[in-house]
Structure 1
Amino acid sequence: MKTVLTTGANKGIGFETAMQLAQLDYFVYLGCRDKENGMEAIQKLLDLGITNVESIQIDVTNIISVRQARQILEAKVSSLEILINNAGIVGSLLQDLSICSLENLRWIFETNFFGVIQTTQEFLPLLKKSGQSSIINVSSEVGSLAAMSVPGGNPSRDKFHAYGSSKTALNAFTVLLANELRESGISVNSVTPGHTATDLNQFKGTKSVEQGATPIVTLAAQNIPGITAKFFKDSGETSW
């Protein structure tokens, strides 16, 4: 049974992604910052008859927590097939970069960018042991430079400059890491769930969590060798 670790998995898109992958017979480790929330998420899945799941406490912004999570997983499995970097925050508004506080900007980047990097670095040895593995970075269309280059094209997008810039940086990390690992058998891609109704946007999104998780699950399940350094949405590849 292939193993998956997804961060930020106790709720929203992360939880739905974990559930859908478990239903596809992956063994899914739900990375959760809060231990109690993780246990509650596991209980919800057990109540649905889904038993191939387990919670691991991990705060992606805390390197000690990330290392402890890696050590716990190493004691349980010999390799990791899929790492889904889903944990993320939107930060506080206002986010216009002419007025956004550096405290807010750093807070957002600490989770959405640096957290992803240090989590990926810690789990790379386990990913390399699987022979063919996949890193999926959950990004957003608000991080697309192509989309941002059209002023006023999406009014809702224009509210999240700081959040969007963190996802742009994440996309750059995706491409650079993919190129670095191209000969290793590890694919690295970004995927946007779309405007999904979660607590990230006060549940104002236009897609359900089931719909938002679909492109992530599809990319994880396909894991086609050679498909790397790309950005996907529910309808297929999209523009950086």
Structure 2
Amino acid sequence: MKTVLITGANKSIGFETARQLLQLGYYVYLGSRDLTKGQQAVDQLRADGLPQVEPIMIDVDDLHSVQSARDELGQKTTVLDVLVNNAGISGSITAGPLATDLGEFRQVLDTNFFGVIQVTQAFADLLHQSPEPRIVNVTSGLGSLTRQSDPSWVYYGITPAAYVASKAALNAYTIALANHLRDTPFKVNAVDPGYTATDFNHHSGPGTVPDAAARVVKAATLGPDGPTGQFYSDDNAPDTGISPW
């Protein structure tokens, strides 16, 4: 049975990703920075007939929390097949690059960028034990420098500065990580789940949570011939599913 750790999985897209992977037969470690909320999410999934799931307390901003989660998971399994770096925050969605406080830049980057690095490095040894390890970094189309520079793009000019910077940095890290692991069985990809109606954006997005999670699941379950080092964004590139960096 394959195993997966999903950060920020007690609600929204992370929770639905857990549900869909459980339905595919994965054993899910449901990451949540609040263990009570994580347990509530696990209880809901088990009540829905999906028992192969348990909570893991992990705050991606906190190195001690990440290390504790790694130690806990290491007592449960010697192999991690999939890591989904889903946890993220938006910061201010209206402040531009001159108005956004430096502290907010740091806070958003701590979660969306440095948090991913901390988690990936901490769990890399368990991933290396898998014959087909997969890393999925949940990003945003707003992190595409090419799209952000294109006046014809539907979201051109939408620049929540800290969030955009964090996702552009995450995309760059994804490329670096995929290149570093290119001669191994790893598949490392970035996935934009699309502009989805969640509490992340006050339920303003037109997309649905099941559709968003399905994009993440697709990258998490790639076969041995699947691509690596790609930026999947069906909303932006419907023909290929791959968006420009």
Question: Retained in 1: the 8 A contact 2:39–2:55?
Answer: yes
Paired residues for 1:181-192 under 5 Å: 181-192=181-192
- Other-structure match for 1:74: 74
Question: Retained in 2: the 8 A contact 1:185–1:225?
Answer: no
Kindly indicate whether residue 133 of structure 2 is the aligned counterpart of residue 133 of structure 1. yes
TM-score (norm: length of structure 2) = 0.94
- Other-structure match for 1:162: 162
After superposition, give the CA deviation of every residue in 1:112-135 in whole Å (9 maximum; x if it has no partner): 000000000000000001132011
- Other-structure match for 2:27: 27
Question: Retained in 2: the 8 A contact 1:4–1:27?
Answer: yes
After superposition, give the CA deviation of every residue in 1:77-134 in whole Å (9 maximum; x if it has no partner): 1110000000000012433112211011111000000000000000000000113201
**3-state DSSP of counterpart to 2:137:** strand
- Other-structure match for 2:106: 106
Question: Retained in 2: the 8 A contact 1:96–1:160?
Answer: yes
Kindly indicate whether residue 77 of structure 2 is the aligned counterpart of residue 90 of structure 1. no
TM-score (norm: length of structure 1) = 0.96
Shift of 1:140: 0.4
Amino acid paired to 2:6? T
The 1-side partners of 2:176 and 2:98 are apart by: 28
The 2-side partners of 1:153 and 1:233 are apart by: 13
After superposition, give the CA deviation of every residue in 1:114-172 in whole Å (9 maximum; x if it has no partner): 00000000000000011320110000001011110123733576142221111000000
- Other-structure match for 1:172: 172
- Other-structure match for 1:147: 147
Choose 125-134 or 113-122, whichever is displaced more.
125-134
Kindly indicate whether residue 46 of structure 2 is the aligned counterpart of residue 41 of structure 1. no
For residues 99 and 72 of structure 1, do their structure 2 counterparts lie closer, same or farther at Cα, with a shift above 3 Å needed?
Answer: same
**3-state DSSP of counterpart to 1:189:** strand
Kindly indicate whether residue 196 of structure 2 is the aligned counterpart of residue 199 of structure 1. no
Choose 114-123 or 182-191, whichever is displaced more.
182-191
Same amino acid, percent of matched pairs: 47
Amino acid paired to 1:48? D
Alpha-carbon RMSD across the aligned residues, in angstroms, is 1.4
The 1-side partners of 2:226 and 2:155 are apart by: 36
Shift of 1:225: 4.0
- Other-structure match for 1:238: 243
Moved over 4 A (4+): none
Amino acid paired to 1:114? F
Shift of 1:218: 1.1
For residues 152 and 101 of structure 1, do their structure 2 counterparts lie closer, same or farther at Cα, with a shift above 3 Å needed?
Answer: farther
The 2-side partners of 1:216 and 1:226 are apart by: 14
The 2-side partners of 1:104 and 1:61 are apart by: 14
In the alignment, structure 1 segments of 5+ residues that lack a partner are: none
Shift of 1:219: 1.3
Aligned residues: 240
The 2-side partners of 1:119 and 1:225 are apart by: 26
The 2-side partners of 1:162 and 1:57 are apart by: 26
In the alignment, structure 2 segments of 5+ residues that lack a partner are: none
The 1-side partners of 2:197 and 2:156 are apart by: 14
